[in-house]
Amino acid sequence: MRVVFVGPPGAGKGTQAENIVAEYKLFHLSTGDALRAAVAAKSPIGIEAEKYMSSGALVPDEVVVGVVVERLDEAKDGCLLDGFPRTIAQAEALDKVLAEKNAPLDVVLELAVPEDELFKRLASRGRADDQPEVIKRRLVAYREQTEPLVGYYTKAGILRKIDGLGTVEEIYGRIKAVLDEYK
Ligand code: ADP
């Protein structure tokens, strides 16, 4: 099973992703985590990525696509891509790589949460990029660059929307009901 997880910053993707990969035994690839690790390691990619991440902008497509492609081979028995793709160009690059492997995506989960709730959640989280001005820019980046993926994957017939309001358990129940159709 190959799954993409999309949703705005603060929607709770990270929390739900932990549950999903444990239960469905999927390889978890979070580009946010991978980039933060590169930043911490001060690798060339990390040094480049940090400039964008600290301001709330997206890291350039070619940098992120490189990070993902080199790790996709670890995903023999299925994967959960979390935070990738985040632009149409990234989605097209992913489709191309997966087509070459004869391993297309099965389903894209959109975790939907209203913006006022996102702001509240992010402001209370306290990560380095959770400052109010940076949060605002991340939400704008989501709306302008990532939300078009909803149309892209709807057209492909693989988008499933999940209501992201409720307790962690309630939301996970909704995700499970969808993923069990693809097992
Ligand atoms: P959140 O979902 O809360 O924004 P992430 O951990 O997914 O957190 O991402 C943090 C930051 O990492 C983003 O604001 C962006 O700068 C960068 N990033 C992560 N994934 C991508 C991606 N696919 N394309 C470009 N930038 C990315």
Domains and CATH numbers, the chain: 2-182 (3.40.50.300)
> What pLDDT digit, counting tens, does each position of 83-126 carry?
999 999 999 999 999 999 999 999 999 999 999 999 889 989 88
Does residue 91's CB lie within 6 angstroms of at least one atom of ligand 1?
no
Task: Decide: 146 in ligand 1 pocket, CB within 6 A.
Answer: no
Nearest CA to ligand 1 atom 5: 32
Query: Whole-angstrom Cα distance, residue 94 to residue 85?
Result: 7
Q: Tens of pLDDT along 53-79?
A: 999 999 999 999 999 998 998 888 899
Q: What is the pTM of this model?
A: 0.94
Task: Name 6's bridge partners.
Answer: 110
| Residue 122 burial (C-beta neighbours within 10 Å; 0-12, 13-18, 19+) | buried
The C-alpha atoms of residue 131 and residue 128 are separated, in whole angstroms, by 7
87 exposed, middle or buried (CB, 10 Å; 0-12, 13-18, 19+)?
buried
58 lines ligand 1 (CB under 6 A): yes
Tell me if the bond preceding 9 is cis, omega within 30° of 0.
Answer: no
In angstroms, the CA 151 to CA 106 distance is 16
Select from 18, 58, 111, 136 the residue to mutate for testing ligand 1; criterion: most ligand atoms less than 8 Å from CB.
58
Task: With beta carbons less than 8 A apart as the criterion, state whether 70 and 99 touch.
Answer: no
Cβ neighbours for 40, distance < 8 A, ≥ 6 positions apart: 46
pLDDT-based confidence at residue 183 (cuts at 50, 70, 90): confident
Tell me, using a 6 A CB cutoff, whether residue 59 lines ligand 1. Answer: yes
- Give the side-chain half-sphere CA count within 13 A for 161: 9
pLDDT of 105: 97
